Chain A
Amino acid sequence: METPATTEVLAGWGGTAPSAAGVVRPTSVDELAGALDDPPERGVIARGLGRCYGDEAQNAGGRVVDTTAVSGIVDLDLRQGVCTAAAGTSLEDLMRWLVPLGWFVPVTPGTRFVTVGGAIANDIHGKNHHKGGSWCNHVSALTLRLPGGDTVRVTPDSDPDLFWATAGGLGLTGIILDATFDLHPIETSRLLVDTDRTPDLDATLALMDESDDEYPYSVAWIDLMKTGAGMGRSILGRGAFAPLDALPAKDRTPGRARAFSPSTRATFPPLAPNGLINPLTVTAFNELWYRKAPKRRRGELQTITTFFHPLDMVERWNRVYGPVGFLQWQFVVPFGEEQTLRRIISALCDEGCTSFLAVLKRFGAANPGPLSFPLPGWTLALDIPAGPSSLARLIDRLDDEVVAAGGRLYLAKDSRVRPELLEAMYPRLDEWRAVRARVDPDGVLRSDLARRLGL
């Protein structure tokens, strides 16, 4: 351990359940690997950009390894579109470097401010899951530092158990030092987007079922404040990267066609009063959002930020929820469980659940990761203000419905699920535990989430 630790209080993006740990900030791959040596009694966990919502990137009373200074491209094959990047590299940086060269990351979540390590540890998904799967489907190798001092290069063939236990493995199988992943070729940095406004849930699901496969990227924003006949009304935004000839002639030079210079427009001030989010403001916001969308629009050119990362335009937008913070609840239920989906949405609407537009998406095939979240079906994600409320009880009850339907929650977003449900949600948990016991017999890798859920 070369870098000194400073005691810091850390929380996830939701700002709930903070805890203190000794934080180290390695600045080289060697230092990052060394951060697992001489572990303190309460263990070690890696942390990227802290964009998980809950407590998986914190380790009360132990050591937290901030990886973000270990950043950069290690190897780049521009012919094949294969990139090796250090674990602390952000997707934001990757896009800044690679988009002008005609390549895009294989998967992007709703924010660019996540690291390559975090992308693997949660096996993140994006708008292209129905076609392209999740992040780890595109990883061909990763370098993993194990407790005990070994550094191993793991591929899906060399040690499939360890590879897939690390995919979505919540940072609990080792510290990822770097990873090699495929890139997606693009001619421009713009997307051709089709927008459809649907009047209710049936129409939303039908339209997605019918034509999602025509688009590489698809997601629906669903208005949970709308009750009654219009319940489940949504705005579908679906698209694909635009070919060069879709741009206006003046934008077709390589410099302009693949320009990528996102800027944040505003920073949300700290310490928002807790009352800012209330049913009235949210209903008004959602109404406006829904109305401002066209009923049907075809082939609109949008930037990467507008299409993939609208929230990144306001830095620290999580502050809108005030010091008590908020949580996100994201579940998936298999295809065929549309009635469960409907019951859950209706229960949330009835409760007057104060949520900004929630996100609904159709997932494609799952990958072999025992803790990887996506499975073929419908996933819904919504933000909920934290603190004491009747919602906690409702969500507890809805968890049971999700489990009964053969679905599960996304642990990257979780900060409250009852631990006893985990096994039912992730039936291959024991398989994962066995791999973990093999590579970390002394339980050096630990996080608040691991303690909370008894992993």
Chain B
Amino acid sequence: MRDAVGGVQSVLVLGGTSEIALATVRRMVDQGCRTVLLAARNPDDCLAAAAAVREAGATTVDTLAFDALDTASHGTVIDEAFTRHGDLDVVLLAFGVLGDQAEFEADPAKAVAAVQVNYVGAVSAGLHVARNLRRQGHGTLVVLSSVAGERVRKTNFVYGSSKAGLDGFAQGLGDSLVGTGASVLVVRPGFVHTRMTEGMEPAPLSTTPEVVAEAVTDGLAKGQAVVWAPAPLRLVMSGLRHLPRPLWRKASERG
């Protein structure tokens, strides 16, 4: 169960190797979280992280297999996660692929696969999580969206549009859960230094997984529905959102 200062006791990560997710989990464990479940395509990839959170104080640490593309398995996997160690206070939906816009355009099948992870897989997993949270009567689904979905740029419109879809889905789901005790927290990071963005030229206001982690735990403590990381992005994007199209095209020229 959550406590009054925003501490959570248990968390499930879908995308259990994500650097942003693991930074968030570290912060939660530091604040008293004791049960951590890491779900990934290959659960063995989570073993090092699992050992680290145990070292940091988590007492129940477990890994399980989860593939965003295998939507048929989501119901079973997620139900299992909710029963294995009792209630889940937070589920972090962290999986996602960035891909390469040029490759997507050259091979649309690759674009479809990316969208299937980022959007289709997230819709499927998100709905299964929501069903469990509703039954439980409490808990928060944290969705890693992106500023890329806030206003889609021509230089990464496949990824951006998948995040735009995900963002809309997550907001609508959050609204639908009002009154059920469950909630959704939409997280909109900017450019975060992780392996996903490795080798890319950092965008202005680029940030770290730890900053995103803090935005998540603070957002949970305050019961917020949307957080930005870093926080000033909110203002920046509220300006950019209304930029006339020709200006936006120019502004979004860079990767």
Contacts and interface: CB of A to CB of B under 8 A. Distances in A.
A386 B32 CA distance: 16
Contacts of A387: 5-6, 221-222
A388 B4 contact: no
A325 B217 CA distance: 17
B152 to A, nearest CB: 32
Contacts of A20: 137-138, 179-182
24 contacts: A7-B179, A9-B180, A17-B3, A18-B138, A19-B1, A60-B1, A60-B138, A323-B223, A324-B221, A324-B222, A327-B4, A386-B5, A387-B5, A388-B5, A388-B217, A388-B221, A388-B222, A391-B5, A392-B6, A392-B31, A448-B1, A448-B138, A451-B86, A452-B3
A4 to B, nearest CB: 17
B7 interface: yes
Given A9-B179, A18-B138, A416-B5, 16 more contacts: A16-B3, A16-B4, A17-B2, A17-B4, A20-B137, A20-B182, A60-B138, A324-B221, A324-B222, A387-B5, A389-B5, A392-B7, A396-B32, A416-B7, A418-B32, A452-B9
Contacts of B182: 20
Nearest to B224: A324
Interface in A301-328: 323-327
A34 interface: no
Contacts of B222: 274, 324, 387-388
B254 interface: no
B135 interface: yes
Is the interface on chain A under 10, 10 to 19, 20 to 34, or 35 or more residues? 35 or more
A54 interface: yes
Contacts of B179: 7, 9, 20
B5 A392 contact: yes
Contacts of A433: none
A392 B31 CA distance: 9
B62 interface: no
A14 interface: yes
Given A17-B1, A18-B181, A20-B180, A62 B137 contact: yes
Given A20-B180, A324-B223, A388-B221, A415 B137 contact: no
Contact of B137 (A60, A327, A386): A60
Nearest to A8: B179
Contacts of B32: 396, 418
A452 B1 contact: yes
A60 B181 contact: yes
Interface of B: 1-7, 9, 31-32, 86-87, 135-138, 179-182, 217-218, 221-223
Nearest to B7: A416
B215 to A, nearest CB: 11
A55 interface: yes
Contacts of B4: 14, 16-17, 54, 325-327, 386, 415-416
A243 interface: no
Nearest to A447: B1
Nearest to A452: B1
A126 to B, nearest CB: 24
A185 interface: no
A416 B87 CA distance: 17
A178 B223 CA distance: 38
A7 B180 contact: yes
Contact of B181 (A19, A389, A449): A19
A388 to B, nearest CB: 4
A195 to B, nearest CB: 33
A451 B5 contact: no
A39 interface: no
A346 B52 CA distance: 36
Contacts of A449: 1
Interface string A248-275: 0000000000000000000000000010
Contacts of A60: 1, 87, 136-138, 181
Given A19-B181, A387-B222, A61 B5 contact: no
A22 B221 CA distance: 25
